[in-house]
């Protein structure tokens, strides 16, 4: 009885929160103005407040017009002072509670992002917004339906002053909103297990007898978890075990390359809802009521962070000042900068966004600054590479697990794209068919690629290798305890690709055996 009453009360709360969320989506400038005022008040009196334009910019517009670009290097000394010297009022008031390690795509901790109470509250507020979206758009109940969040270890190390350090996926797996903790799996004890095989076994045993309705995590991480469970349990798919599992909430990478595989693993239709989260904070989410159910099209989370933008490719001098959410136009490609409760002020995230519409404001993530492939000034983005690979995987039976793309050279010594595909069934399709499929897909997705291929003749047809997915399995086995398991896709050169493999200590002999295949195709 009490559970039923609590569920009704919470449902009413979520309905009110949905109305508030929609108001923010309909008036993002005012939503950001309020967020800026709250952040400015929280950071007042700190060192970062005094040395940036927070002290002199009294509103959101003035802030964007006077802000300077800042990267992690600009904050590193202040991060070290806060963590190692226990200095207070440097980046924020109060003490650090957690350190988010940035693993990027290699698993190495290149950055340390401090979480304080303000950041923890931002993630908590974000979870409530996601719960609102799930209730309205997927009929998922935050209070009464079981969910599993699959992430990395929440504790990798501690600072000298005892502050826990870990990855954001592990942080989210162990920091469920208090209202949903009783329905959240796996337990803290299981989440903290370092041995991945044991962690999967224990988490699977805990979840097997529950009526699981939702799984959340990085797509590659979820696939790895389900594939290992499927082998352990000797089953074809999970439909009989979790017949009511209806939603996958994904983050970290796009879903297109994993959609077909996840549908097959679960054995029934699934709704996918994306979250745009990084170590630096929760930035956005997919709202099916606004994006028409199109995966990869996001709305901003406006309540806790302040967003500014710069047109992609513009130098600091080419654009007089940063843009507000109200300055964005449909079709704009922009870099994202954030200001957050932990004292990162106009911080360059490195993410590039394409604005899909402005009423409501919707965007897609097209990649990272400097990532993608650019052989003949065609600038194919990570998003376009992923879409081409996803089309291949959906229309054929390769069982594509991962792919790499780098600049190559055709048999006629012309520049081309070199694709290395890691698949469960590498012999299922003739490489020439794959070559034609991927070439055609990129020509449809990127007009500059098409011009350089057909009109100018600067690019030759791509070369193709289709190899065993064993390399991806090696990666997951070696790196399963680190970060979000986001293996890099695009490389500037074969040397960088080889260095990437060496850095991960993977066995590249299978690739070396495959170079001849590329030359033959």
Alpha-carbon distance of 103 to 447, in angstroms, equals 33
Q: How far apart are CA 481 and CA 196, in angstroms?
A: 7
Nearest to 500 by CA among 153, 108, 72: 108
C-alpha distance from residue 134 to each of 14, 20, 126, 273 (Å): 10, 15, 12, 8
pLDDT digits (tens, 9 = 90+) for 227-246: 999 999 999 999 999 999 99
Q: What is the pLDDT of residue 372?
A: 74
Secondary structure (DSSP) of 265-293: HHTS--EEEEEEEETTEEEEE--HHHHTT
pLDDT of residue 171: 87
- What residues have CB less than 8 Å from 143, skipping those under 6 apart? 3, 6, 7, 10, 179, 180, 183
Distance CA 291, CA 360 (A): 9
SS3 of residue 31 by DSSP:
helix
User: Which residues does residue 113 pair with via DSSP β-bridges, in sequence order?
Assistant: 100
Give the pair of three-digit tokens for residue 114.
């401090």
- Kindly tell me the burial class for residue 193, based on how many C-beta atoms sit within 10 Å of its own C-beta (0-12, 13-18, 19 or more): middle
Question: Pairing state of beta strands 306-311 and 299-300?
Answer: unpaired
Q: In this predicted model, what pLDDT tens digit does every residue of 32-57 receive, in sequence order?
A: 999 999 999 999 999 999 999 999 99
Q: How distant is the alpha carbon of residue 390 from its chain centre?
A: 17
**Given this model, what pLDDT does residue 415 score?**
84
SS3 475: helix
Q: What is the dihedral of CA 284, 285, 288, 293, to 10 degrees?
A: 110
Which helix (H) or strand (E) segment is 176 a member of? Answer: none
Q: Is the dihedral of CA 130, 133, 138, 139 positive or negative?
A: positive
Query: What pLDDT was estimated at residue 2?
Result: 54
Low-confidence ranges of the chain (pLDDT < 70): 1-3, 103-109, 313-320, 370-371, 376-377, 472-487, 503-521
pLDDT number for residue 70: 96
């Amino acid at each position: 009885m009490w559970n039923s009453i609590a569920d009704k009360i919470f449902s009413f709360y979520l309905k009110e929160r949905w109305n508030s969320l929609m108001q923010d989506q309909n008036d993002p400038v005012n939503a950001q103005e309020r967020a800026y005022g709250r952040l400015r008040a929280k950071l007042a009196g700190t060192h970062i407040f005094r040395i940036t334009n927070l002290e002199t910019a009294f509103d959101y517009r003035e802030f964007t017009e006077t802000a300077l670009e800042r990267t992690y290097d600009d904050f590193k000394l202040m991060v070290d002072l806060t963590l190692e010297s226990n200095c207070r009022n440097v980046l924020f008031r109060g003490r650090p509670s957690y350190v988010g390690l940035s693993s990027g795509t290699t698993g190495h901790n290149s950055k340390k992002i401090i979480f304080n109470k303000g950041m923890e509250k931002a993630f908590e507020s974000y979870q409530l917004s996601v719960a609102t979206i799930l209730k309205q758009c997927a009929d998922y109940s935050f209070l009464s339906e079981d969910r599993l969040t699959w992430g990395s270890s929440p504790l990798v190390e501690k600072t000298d002053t005892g502050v826990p350090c870990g990855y954001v996926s592990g942080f989210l797996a162990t920091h469920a909103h208090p209202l949903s903790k009783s329905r959240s799996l796996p337990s803290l004890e299981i989440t903290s297990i370092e041995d991945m095989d044991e962690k999967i076994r224990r988490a699977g045993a805990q979840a097997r007898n529950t009526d699981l309705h939702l799984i959340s995590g990085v797509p590659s991480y979820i696939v790895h978890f389900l594939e290992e469970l499927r082998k352990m349990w000797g089953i074809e798919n999970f439909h009989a075990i979790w017949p009511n599992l209806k939603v996958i909430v994904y983050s970290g990478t796009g879903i297109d390359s994993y959609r077909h595989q996840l549908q097959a693993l679960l054995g029934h239709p699934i709704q996918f809802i994306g979250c745009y989260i990084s170590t630096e904070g929760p930035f956005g989410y997919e709202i099916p009521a606004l994006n028409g159910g199109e995966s990869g099209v996001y709305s901003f989370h406006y309540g806790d962070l302040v967003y500014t933008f710069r047109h992609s490719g513009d130098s600091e001098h080419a654009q007089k000042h940063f843009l507000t959410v109200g300055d964005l136009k449909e079709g704009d490609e922009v870099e994202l900068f954030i200001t957050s409760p932990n004292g990162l002020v106009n911080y360059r995230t490195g993410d590039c966004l394409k604005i899909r519409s402005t009423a409501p404001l919707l965007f897609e993530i097209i990649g990272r600054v400097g990532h993608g492939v650019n052989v003949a000034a065609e600038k194919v983005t990570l998003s376009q590479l992923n879409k081409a690979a996803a089309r291949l995987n959906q229309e054929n039976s390769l069982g594509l697990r991962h792919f790499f793309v780098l600049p190559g050279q055709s048999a006629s010594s012309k520049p081309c794209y070199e694709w290395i595909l890691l698949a469960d069934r590498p012999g299922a399709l003739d490489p020439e068919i794959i070559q034609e499929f991927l070439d055609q897909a990129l020509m449809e997705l990127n007009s500059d690629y098409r011009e350089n291929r057909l009109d100018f003749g600067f690019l030759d047809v791509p070369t193709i290798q289709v190899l065993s997915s064993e390399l991806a399995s090696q990666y997951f086995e070696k790196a399963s305890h680190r970060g979000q398991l986001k293996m890099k896709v695009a490389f500037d050169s074969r040397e960088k690709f080889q260095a990437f493999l060496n850095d991960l200590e993977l066995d590249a002999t299978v690739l070396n055996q495959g170079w001849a295949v590329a030359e033959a195709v």
